[in-house]
Structure 1
Amino acid sequence: MKLTTERPYANPEAAARKLVELAAAIEPVQDGRIHIEKINAPFLYTWKASGPEFGAGIKLAVDRGWLELHESGTYVRLLKPGEDLLAS
């Protein structure tokens, strides 16, 4: 008997890749900025991930150089390695 559901984004690598994919699908506003809520809402509500999974995914994406997170936490920028990540 299985009492819990599968959590595909419990793995930070999978969460980071999904966040980069979501960021790449959004038209950036000024200076390549993507408002954090544009990736947060679909990740949490459409893909049914959790807040800690979002946090771990963002942290890993920033650490790997896929996303740049502004110090205010209000927006991200997709970096070149993240664009290469989408091709693979």
Structure 2
Amino acid sequence: MSKSSEKFTKDRPYAKPEAAAARLLEIAKTLRIDDGLMPIGEWNSTFIWKDKASVAEYTLGRDKLIADGIIKMHECGGFLMWVEPGADGQLPGTNPPQDV
């Protein structure tokens, strides 16, 4: 008989869209950018293979960054691009929170 508190799966650190998006944003800042384009292959392979995340977690994080207006997908589907910086020169979603 098993105990009700036993767990048979590991906790997934990127199961929440916010956590996945934060990690993907860290990765995106390290990628080479050619003509404003970040290759999706480098981005998702780091997240999936190095960080051991799932495709579903990658998709949640990527879609959150797109919905938040931080990145957008190139029409060919093979690249991501930063959304235009705001008036302050900062990319959306990358400003540290300000205490008021």
Partner deviation per Cα, 1:61-82 (whole Å, 9 max, x = no partner): 0000111111322000123114
Q: Which residue of 2 aligns with 1:28?
A: 33
1:48 and 2:75 correspond: no
Identity %: 35
Higher RCO by CA contacts (8 Å cutoff, separation 6 or greater): 1
Q: Which residue of 2 aligns with 1:69?
A: 73
| Moved >6 Å (runs of 4+) | none
Report the structure number with the largest CA radius of gyration: 2
Tell me, what secondary structure is at the counterpart of 1:81?
coil
Q: Which runs of 5+ in 2 are unaligned?
A: 1-5, 84-90
CA contact (8 A) 1:68 1:77 kept: yes
Q: Distance in 2 between matches of 1:45 and 1:3?
A: 22
1:57 and 2:61 correspond: yes
Q: Which runs of 5+ in 1 are unaligned?
A: none
Number of aligned positions between the proteins: 85
TM-score by length of 2: 0.77
RMSD of aligned C-alpha atoms? 1.5
TM-score by length of 1: 0.86
CA contact (8 A) 1:20 1:67 kept: no
Q: Which residue of 1 aligns with 2:92?
A: 81
